[in-house]
Amino acid sequence: MTSLWALLRRTPVQRGVRAAIAAGLAWQVAVLLPPLLSEYAYYAPLGAVIAVHPTVADSASAAWRSVLAILTGFGLAVAVYELTRQVPNALTIALIVALAVAVEQWQLWREQASWVSFAAVLMITVGLDDPNTYVLRYAGLTLLGALVGVLVTTVLFPPMQLTQAVEQIGRTRAVLAAHLGDIAATLREGHVPDPAEWAGRGRRLDRELDRMRAAENRVERARRANPRARRWQGRAAGIRAESRAVDRVAVLVDDLVSLVVEFQPHRRGVDLVDAGTGWVLADALDGLAGVVRTPHDHVDGTIPDGREESVTAAVVALDRLVGLLRSARVADEEGFFALGAVAVGVRRGLLALDATGQQKPAA
């Protein structure tokens, strides 16, 4: 039962269940209509499938945009056909398609733009014998099915997209933490991070960040017109805050990497502690990585998640880096200021993650 529930929480599975139910209901409703429409009941399931989307807001948007695009395509085809009766059919079809594609460029249609040209070609090829009846059958039954699709999406476990957003934030945290850990490991080996190599790793992080932002946006869209929105308002707000905190830390990490790669502060004459500047710097970056890796999984405290230990380790490492800066004789101003900027960046990262510990690290 647990595995079944976990499966039903997946967005593709939920959408598949909703689409199947909506299509069946739309068909059943359509066959009960007068023969003029019931003979073409198969258009209703089409509208239902079109309208079933991951969120209620997206479902409603797809429904009205699709139907409007279909009506626009039909109208365009009929108008052009009437004006070009003396023109060869091939040229008429070419003109209709060209105009339909031009109309599809309007931002109004969004993902439903292709329905304009599809409906236009459909009308010119099979609907001109009785265009009014064809519009009623096709557009009317598609609209009926779309309304059923929106209704099913609203009623049947209307998605909040929370699970997918949490999982994506976790993946982004893991990639960001690994990024920091790799930089720290390179520093401990005494190597200078290669700009081209870190640019490639940065692109992977950028892709994860883009997916995380998209997941956050889906949660925000899912709250619109959703009967479950009030119940999950706190959780959705928490996901938004966590996503944006990770995003801010990623920007800071990008700056840190640039400073280490460009100025190499661990090799610029600020080496006054036993472990060496590179090791102190690596410990600070590793500390931040540890906090990135361990969010508040169990806020009620019933299951220890290791976050407190991670925060403590990060604060201690940052304090050591700050102590190095305070006791150093400045042999290289550029390297000294770069190292100071890294310390500030680590502190700001901990602040963004609400992880400064009990003591305030000076930086």
Render each residue's pLDDT in the chain as its tens digit; 363 residues: 567 666 666 777 888 888 999 999 999 999 999 999 999 999 999 999 999 987 788 888 999 999 999 999 999 999 999 999 888 889 999 999 999 999 999 999 989 999 999 999 999 988 888 999 999 999 999 999 999 999 998 887 666 567 778 888 989 999 999 989 888 888 887 776 667 777 777 788 889 999 998 888 878 777 765 666 566 667 777 888 888 889 999 998 888 888 877 777 665 554 444 447 778 888 999 999 999 988 765 444 445 567 888 888 899 999 988 888 787 665 556 667 778 888 899 999 999 888 765 444 433
Quote the pLDDT of residue 4: 67
Q: What's the one-letter identity of residue 311?
A: V
Quote the pLDDT of residue 299: 44
Angle at 164 between CA 212 and CA 346, to 5 degrees: 35
Closest CA to 181 of 274, 310, 305, 272: 310
CA 221 to chain centre: 11
Quote the pLDDT of residue 157: 63
Residue 88: count other Cβ atoms within 10 Å of its Cβ.
Answer: 9
Q: Which two tokens stand for residue 357?
A: 């510990």
CA 153 to chain centre: 20
| Distant-in-sequence, close-in-space partners of 13: CB < 8 Å, separation ≥ 6 | 7
Quote the pLDDT of residue 238: 82
Whether the CB-CB separation of 40 and 139 falls below 8 Å is answered with: no
Residue whose entry in the numeric block shows the structure tokens 């976990």:
6
| Distant-in-sequence, close-in-space partners of 179: CB < 8 Å, separation ≥ 6 | 201, 202, 205, 253, 257, 289
Burial pattern 10-26, b for ≥16 Cβ within 10 A else e, equals: eeeebbeebbebbbebb
Instruction: Go through the chain and tell me how many residues it has.
Output: 363
CA 320/CA 279 separation, integer angstroms: 11
H runs (alpha helix) in 84-194: 89-103, 114-122, 131-155, 162-188
Quote the pLDDT of residue 323: 86
Quote the pLDDT of residue 275: 44
Angle at 25 between CA 20 and CA 27, to 5 degrees: 95
Residue 269: count other Cβ atoms within 10 Å of its Cβ.
Answer: 15
Q: Which helix (H) or strand (E) holds 301?
A: none
Closest CA to 180 of 202, 152, 148: 202
pTM: 0.64
CA 138 to chain centre: 34
